[in-house]
Amino acid sequence: MTNTVDSVAKIRLGVDSQFDAWLYSMLMDNNLDYNLNPHLVASHEQLAFIVHLEENQIYLPCSDKTFFLLDNKSNPDLRRQYNRAWRIVVRLIRQSIDDATLRRRLLKFCSYRYRQYTSHQTLLPSRLVKRMTDLFLKHAFNPHEDPWGTRKHLAVQKHVDLINSPEIKEALDHIDPAILSQSMADIRQKLNQLEMIRLFCCTLMARVWEDNPPSHSEVTKVLGEAESMAQEMLTALDKGGQKQLTILYLCDADGSPFFDLMAIKALMRMGHRVIYAVKDGFFFYAPTINDLTNDPILEDLAKSGKIIPEKNLSKNELLKELHAHKLLIINDGTRERLNLYRVSTTFARAWKEADLILARGWRASDILLGTSHEFTRDIICFWHDTQGFHLTRRPHAKQAKKFSEEDLRAHADKIIKTMRDAHKEQRTVIFYSCIIGSIPGQTKMAITLANTLVNDLRQRLDSVLVINPAEHFIEGMDGDDLMYIWERVQRSGQIDIWRFQTTQDIELSFSLLGKKIPPIWSGKDATYSTGCTKEMQIALDVQKKNREMQIIGPDPKLFVRRGEYGVGQYFDAEISAKKYKR
């Protein structure tokens, strides 16, 4: 099938059964199948925070070129990529292991595994590097030990020396006299922009320059090249005149967190909020949270921000931290190249809340620019190679819509206003919590049942306003957005009666529809729903402040079975065995 399309984004599942079987096998070989490993692999809903996916469309964390290499095993380029991965691992072992016996044993062991991993030629080269480094780490180091800890610490010190060297300091501080003829506000803006661009350039050159200090002319040439290509970045940072953007900044395996943080501080001086995504563990020179807390230089640079080690931060928690801090430092949950199937929930939500993604290095650009898939946010990739400085902007998918916090609050406040207006008219406000997505394949029927019951209540009860969440769905919103809206509504203090769906409600709804109750709906009530379980917790919390609010429905003690929402879903991740036992 892949021979009939010219890009991965055009491939659809369900067209060619043979191709589908090969693809599922390849996903399994790369451990990217959510159904086999839901606690490590992102769900479709979480992936949709980042990648714009149409129905039956497949995404892989690699460039189109690499994907087609996997589908065309006769092409020698794939073997060259595998060989490069092997050389990386061999160099890593030889540089990190002093004991000759252990070094030989590890090399032989990795050689065996390398042949097994590459025998079918279905493993992504980046995943091969990850697996081989895992073998190396697990057999030679303690779980939290960084084999390059000392090397990374020395690199930071070298970068401090670089920025203080006359050659770089003079080039960084140089100001064109023409700038000074502008207004003070324009001068300030221009200086901030120049500092940011020059520091971004230094992040890319730090590894090259740390052992080979450049001349003043070389620095001036490279910085000038970066400045000449910066307009696309400056345009993105001035998005529609919006002064403050939330920027997700991705680190790189080439390291230089010192310059990363210096550039981030320049962004903050321009008024932006930044989320700095580092790695979860050893990935060559890439920074980790441990690096930022154990290195005094980096610790001092990061002290103005908030380090968040949690990998499963909720939308509300992330927004709260963004309100309180202009710099958040998270880890992306991986120890490999940008792999959107394996990133943490916190990272996925950070991407979703960001206005712009800044991705440093050729590795990220290969994945983000080399794919035909589109993403949900604007992306700027910048890197340096033998051809010089590169900066490319990729706009978000036209179909992708971002609901900002202001959008969600405005929608919630609109509903709250109708509740306040009802109170002015001496009407009673009833909020109806019911099953929507907790029964697989029954979402449409669940909405019909809710609407039927609520319409009946409106006909039977006098002077009431019944809030039915099923009537307030907004196209394009995911579960995270809707949960944010409804919690704001529910905590507004405007609810007089909070009604939770009962078995009798479901029976009445089917009766009003003139239908018999299907087995899948027999005995169901609000306790079956994760959403209702969370809402009962909110209801009890609200009732402590508003003692007059009535709660009608199943006994609150029965809302104990359900665990947590699936990320970005309207329904359940699982029933927690720890909370509920038969």
Domain encompassing residue 167: 149-394
Secondary structure (3-state) at 59: coil
Q: Which run of H or E residues covers position 24?
A: helix 17-29
Where is the domain boundary, 91, 107, 140?
140
Could you tell me if 153 and 136 lie in one domain?
no
Mean pLDDT for back-to-back runs of 10 residues, the chain (582 residues): 74 90 92 89 90 90 92 82 94 92 93 92 93 90 86 96 93 88 85 91 94 91 90 76 85 94 94 96 94 95 95 91 96 96 96 96 96 96 91 93 89 96 97 86 89 96 94 78 91 97 97 96 90 91 95 91 52 36 30
Could you tell me if 174 and 34 lie in one domain?
no
Q: Which of 127, 128, 18, 7 is nearest to 67 (CA)?
A: 7
| pTM (two decimals) | 0.86
Question: 61 in a domain, yes or no?
Answer: yes
Question: Which are the contacts of 19, defined by CB distance < 8 A and separation ≥ 6?
Answer: 1, 2, 11
Question: Which are the contacts of 154, defined by CB distance < 8 A and separation ≥ 6?
Answer: none
Rounded to whole angstroms, how far apart are CA atoms 209 and 428?
71
- DSSP assignment of 357-388: EEEESHHHHHHHTSSS-EESSEEEEEEEETTE
Q: Long-range pairs for 66-71 at CB < 8 Å and ≥24 separation?
A: 66/124, 66/125, 66/370, 67/2, 67/8, 68/2, 68/8, 70/26, 70/121, 70/122, 70/124, 71/2, 71/22
Where is the domain boundary, 114, 140, 166?
140
Question: 581 in a domain, yes or no?
Answer: no
CB–CB of 361/204 below 8 Å? yes
Could you tell me if 436 and 485 lie in one domain?
yes
Question: 324 in a domain, yes or no?
Answer: yes
DSSP-H helix ranges across 282-344? 289-294, 296-302, 315-324
Rounded to whole angstroms, how far apart are CA atoms 508 and 511?
5
Where is the domain boundary, 100, 115, 140?
140
Among positive and negative, which fits the CA dihedral 337, 69, 384, 372? Answer: negative
- The count of C-alpha atoms lying within 13 angstroms of the C-alpha of 2, restricted to the half-sphere facing its C-beta, is 19
pLDDT, residue 339, reads 97
CA distances from 471 to 301, 446, 467, 474, 475 (A): 49, 12, 8, 9, 12
Question: 153 in a domain, yes or no?
Answer: yes
Exposure of 260 by Cβ count < 10 A (0-12 exposed, 13-18 middle, 19+ buried)?
Answer: buried
Query: Quick one: residue 121, left, alpha or beta (phi over 0 = left, psi -120 to 50 = alpha)?
Result: left
Rounded to whole angstroms, how far apart are CA atoms 60 and 342?
11
CA distances from 157 to 151, 213, 247, 367, 488 (A): 10, 14, 27, 31, 48
Total domains, the chain:
3
Could you tell me if 340 and 454 lie in one domain?
no
CB–CB of 233/393 below 8 Å? yes
Question: 399 in a domain, yes or no?
Answer: no
Rounded to a whole number, what is the distance in angstroms from the first to the last CA of the chain? Answer: 47
pLDDT, residue 573, reads 37
pLDDT, residue 206, reads 94
Could you tell me if 479 and 570 lie in one domain?
yes
Q: Which of 64, 1, 5, 57 is nearest to 372 (CA)?
A: 64
pLDDT, residue 185, reads 83
Could you tell me if 364 and 456 lie in one domain?
no
DSSP-H helix ranges across 394-442? 405-424
Could you tell me if 267 and 127 lie in one domain?
no
Could you tell me if 127 and 171 lie in one domain?
no
Could you tell me if 458 and 359 lie in one domain?
no
CATH classification at residue 165: 3.40.50.10880
Q: Which of 479, 483, 484, 497 is nearest to 542 (CA)?
A: 497
Helix, strand, coil percentages, rounded to 5, for the chain: 50, 10, 35
Among positive and negative, which fits the CA dihedral 535, 537, 543, 545? Answer: negative
Among positive and negative, which fits the CA dihedral 526, 529, 535, 541? Answer: positive
Could you tell me if 81 and 159 lie in one domain?
no
Rounded to whole angstroms, how far apart are CA atoms 89 and 486?
50
DSSP-H helix ranges across 425-551? 443-460, 479-490, 503-513, 530-545
Rounded to whole angstroms, how far apart are CA atoms 51 and 59?
8
- DSSP assignment of 333-361: S-SSS--TTTS-HHHHHHHHH-SEEEEES
CB–CB of 270/193 below 8 Å? yes
Could you tell me if 240 and 326 lie in one domain?
yes
Could you tell me if 182 and 119 lie in one domain?
no
Give the other-Cβ count within 10 Å of 170's Cβ: 12
The structure tokens 């070129």 sit at 65
Q: Which two tokens stand for residue 446?
A: 């669940």
pLDDT, residue 561, reads 58
Q: Which two tokens stand for residue 459?
A: 């006909």
pLDDT, residue 575, reads 32
Buried b / exposed e across 300-325, counting CB within 10 Å, b at 16+? ebbeebebbeeeebbbeebbebbeeb
